[in-house]
Structure 1
Amino acid sequence: MAEILPFRNEVPSEKTWDITALFNSDEAFYQTLNETITLAKNFNETYVYRLNQPDTIEEALDVYSNILIQLDRMANYAELRLSVDTTNEQAQSLSSKFSNSYGKIASELSFVESEILILSDDVLNDYIATSKYPHFLQKLKEKKAYQLSPEVEKTLASLSPVFERPFELYGITKMLDIDFESFEHNGHTYPLDYATFENEYEDHPNEAFRRISFKKFSDALNKYQHTTAATYNMQVQQEKIEADLRGYDSVIDYLLQDQEVTRDMFDRQIDVIMSDLAPIMQKYAKLIKRVHGLEVMHFEDLKVSIDPDYEPDISIEDSKEYIYGALNVLGKDYLKMVETAYQDRWIDFAQNKGKDTGAYCASPYTTHSYVFISWTGKMTETFVLAHELGHAGHFTLAQSHQNYLESEPSMYFVEAPSTMNEMLMANYLFKNSNDAKFKRWVIGSIVSRTYYHNMVTHLLEAAYQREVYKKVDDGESLTAPLLNQIMLDVYSQFFGDSVKFTKGAELTWMRQPHYYMGLYSYTYSAGLTIGTVMSQRIQKEGQPAVDDWLNTLKAGGSTSPVELAQIAGIDITTDQPLKATIGYIGKLVDDLEQLTDEIEFE
Structure 2
Amino acid sequence: MVQSLPKRSDVKVEETWNLKDLYATEEDYNNTLEEIEKSIPMFAEKFKGKIDSAKAIVDALSEYKTLFEKFNLLGSYARLAITVDQTNTESQMRAGKFGSLAGKVASQTSFVDSELLELPKELIEEAIKLNSEYENYLVKLLEKKKYTLHPEVEKVLAAYSPTFDAPYNLYETTKLLDIAFPNFEVNGKQYPLSYVSFENDWEAETDTVLRRTAFEAFSSKLKEYQHTTAKTYDIHLQQEKTTADLRGYDSVFEYLLFDQDVDISLYNRQIDLITKELAPHMRKYANLLQKIHGLDKMTFADLKIALDPNYEPTITIEESKKYIKDSLSVMGDEYLEMVDRSYKERWVDFAQNEGKSTGAFCSSPYGSHPYILISWSSRMNEVFVLAHELGHAGHFYFAHQEQNLFNSRPSLYFIEAPSTMNEMLVANHLLKNSDDPKFKRWVISSIVARTYYHNFVTHLLEAAYQRKVYERVDQGQNVNAEILNAYKREVLEDFWGDAVEITDGAELTWMRQPHYYMGLYPYTYSAGLTISTQVAKRILNEGQTAVDEWVEVLKAGGTKTPVELAKMAGVDITTDEPLKETISYIGSLIDELEILTETIENK
* TM-score, structure 1 normalization: 0.99
Q: How many Å separate the matches in 1 of 2:485 and 2:290?
A: 26
Q: How many Å separate the matches in 1 of 2:324 and 2:45?
A: 50
1:192 aligns to 2:184 (yes or no) = no
Q: How many Å separate the matches in 1 of 2:298 and 2:232?
A: 33
Question: 1:423, CA displacement in angstroms?
Answer: 0.2
Question: 1:188, CA displacement in angstroms?
Answer: 2.8
Q: How many Å separate the matches in 1 of 2:564 and 2:396?
A: 18
Q: Which residue identity lines up with residue 522 of structure 2 in the other structure?
A: S
Question: 1:52, CA displacement in angstroms?
Answer: 2.7
Question: 1:246, CA displacement in angstroms?
Answer: 0.3
Question: 1:206, CA displacement in angstroms?
Answer: 1.2
Q: Which residue identity lines up with residue 56 of structure 1 in the other structure?
A: A
Corresponding residue SS for 1:406: coil
Q: How many Å separate the matches in 1 of 2:278 and 2:39?
A: 52
Q: How many Å separate the matches in 1 of 2:338 and 2:180?
A: 41
Whether contact under 8 Å (2:52, 2:119) holds in the other structure is yes
Whether contact under 8 Å (2:84, 2:357) holds in the other structure is yes
Corresponding residue SS for 1:136: helix
Question: 1:496, CA displacement in angstroms?
Answer: 1.3
Q: Which residue identity lines up with residue 119 of structure 1 in the other structure?
A: L
Task: Tell me what 2:111 maps to.
Answer: 111
Q: How many Å separate the matches in 1 of 2:36 and 2:490?
A: 48
Whether contact under 8 Å (1:210, 1:300) holds in the other structure is yes
Task: Tell me what 2:94 maps to.
Answer: 94
Task: Tell me what 2:76 maps to.
Answer: 76
Q: How many Å separate the matches in 2 of 1:179 and 1:346?
A: 30
Task: Tell me what 2:523 maps to.
Answer: 522
Percent of residue pairs identical: 54
Q: How many Å separate the matches in 2 of 1:541 and 1:288?
A: 35
Question: 1:8, CA displacement in angstroms?
Answer: 1.2
Moved more, 377-386 or 67-76: 67-76
Moved more, 241-250 or 350-359: 350-359
Whether contact under 8 Å (2:414, 2:527) holds in the other structure is yes
Whether contact under 8 Å (2:57, 2:127) holds in the other structure is no
Question: 1:144, CA displacement in angstroms?
Answer: 0.9
Q: How many Å separate the matches in 2 of 1:342 and 1:230?
A: 41
Corresponding residue SS for 2:278: helix
Evaluate the alpha carbon distance shift between residue 265 and residue 125 of structure 1 in structure 2; reply closer, same or farther with a 3 A threshold. Answer: farther
Corresponding residue SS for 2:406: helix
Moved more, 335-344 or 110-119: 110-119
Corresponding residue SS for 2:323: helix
Q: How many Å separate the matches in 2 of 1:236 and 1:597?
A: 49
Q: How many Å separate the matches in 2 of 1:223 and 1:258?
A: 36
Moved more, 221-230 or 49-58: 49-58
Task: Tell me what 2:494 maps to.
Answer: 493
Corresponding residue SS for 1:353: coil
Task: Tell me what 1:454 maps to.
Answer: 455
Question: 1:196, CA displacement in angstroms?
Answer: 0.6
Task: Tell me what 2:9 maps to.
Answer: 9
Whether contact under 8 Å (1:202, 1:304) holds in the other structure is yes
Q: Deviations over 1:115-142 (max 9, x none)?
A: 1111233443444455312122221111
Task: Tell me what 2:35 maps to.
Answer: 35
- Give every structure 1 segment of 4 or more consecutive aligned residues whose post-TM-superposition deviation is greater than 6 Å: none
Q: How many Å separate the matches in 1 of 2:236 and 2:497?
A: 31
Task: Tell me what 1:337 maps to.
Answer: 338
Q: How many Å separate the matches in 2 of 1:257 and 1:53?
A: 29
Task: Tell me what 1:233 maps to.
Answer: 234
Q: Which residue identity lines up with residue 599 of structure 1 in the other structure?
A: I
Corresponding residue SS for 1:184: strand
Q: How many Å separate the matches in 1 of 2:468 and 2:319?
A: 44
Question: 1:356, CA displacement in angstroms?
Answer: 1.3
Task: Tell me what 1:510 maps to.
Answer: 511
Evaluate the alpha carbon distance shift between residue 274 and residue 128 of structure 1 in structure 2; reply closer, same or farther with a 3 A threshold. Answer: farther
Whether contact under 8 Å (1:22, 1:367) holds in the other structure is yes
Whether contact under 8 Å (1:326, 1:424) holds in the other structure is yes
Corresponding residue SS for 2:3: coil
Whether contact under 8 Å (2:308, 2:442) holds in the other structure is yes
Question: 1:564, CA displacement in angstroms?
Answer: 1.0
Task: Tell me what 1:296 maps to.
Answer: 297
Moved more, 46-55 or 413-422: 46-55
Question: 1:531, CA displacement in angstroms?
Answer: 0.8
Q: Which residue identity lines up with residue 9 of structure 1 in the other structure?
A: S
Task: Tell me what 2:313 maps to.
Answer: 312
Q: How many Å separate the matches in 2 of 1:133 and 1:275?
A: 43
Whether contact under 8 Å (1:255, 1:518) holds in the other structure is yes
Q: Deviations over 1:8-48 (max 9, x none)?
A: 11112111111111012223222211211221111111111
Whether contact under 8 Å (1:128, 1:138) holds in the other structure is no
Moved more, 177-186 or 125-134: 125-134
Q: CA RMSD in A?
A: 1.1
Unaligned runs of 5+ in 1: none
Q: How many Å separate the matches in 2 of 1:135 and 1:42?
A: 26
Corresponding residue SS for 1:371: strand
Q: Deviations over 1:84-139 (max 9, x none)?
A: 11111001110111011100011011111111111233443444455312122221
Q: How many Å separate the matches in 2 of 1:91 and 1:190?
A: 31
